[in-house]
């Protein structure tokens, strides 16, 4: 089932990914990232998602990027990279503290 989700994203969702709610896209991207057997592949995939989010002209990209970055932090922790995980969490806290009107989903 995991590989099917990855294929679904690569072969279908990429066609319209920037036309849907970007936070929902981030939620789906995180679910897909958990299907990768290698954490580095999952992190690379999520970094690509972040690059795509940054390249949009949308106003509210902070939330989806933060959500994806927190999953990267979780993967870093699973890899035993506590230093990088803490760095990402600290950056995330700073970003969250500066945000207003946060989407509760």
**Residue 105 domain flag:** no
Q: Is 85 inside a domain boundary? A: yes
User: Between residues 78 and 20, which one has the greater pLDDT?
Assistant: 78
- Tally of domains within the chain: 1
Would you say 88 and 43 are in contact if contact means Cβ atoms under 8 Å apart?
no
Residue 20 lies in a domain: yes
pTM of the model: 0.83
CA–CA distance from 70 to each of 1, 12, 19, 63, 89 (Å)? Answer: 24, 25, 23, 11, 7
Domain containing 73: what range?
Answer: 2-98
**What pLDDT was estimated at residue 1?**
57
Query: What is the tens place of the pLDDT at every residue in 39-56?
Result: 999 999 999 999 989 988
Return d(Cα 40, Cα 48) in angstroms, integer: 12
11 occurs within a structural domain: yes
In a domain, 103, yes or no: no
Q: In this predicted structure, what is the pLDDT of residue 60?
A: 84
**CB atoms < 10 A from the CB of 46, how many?**
22
The per-residue pLDDT for range 54-86, each reduced to its tens digit, is 988 788 899 999 999 999 999 999 999 999 999
């Amino acid at each position: 089932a995991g590989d099917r989700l990855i294929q679904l994203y690569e072969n279908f969702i990429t066609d319209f990914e920037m036309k849907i709610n970007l936070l929902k896209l981030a939620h789906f991207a995180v679910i897909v990232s958990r299907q990768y057997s290698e954490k580095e592949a999952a992190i690379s995939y999520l970094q690509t998602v972040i690059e795509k989010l940054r390249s949009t002209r949308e106003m509210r990209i902070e939330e989806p990027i933060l959500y994806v970055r927190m999953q990267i932090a979780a993967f870093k922790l699973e890899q035993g990279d506590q230093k990088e995980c803490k760095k990402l969490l600290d950056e995330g806290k700073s970003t969250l503290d500066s945000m207003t009107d946060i989407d509760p989903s």
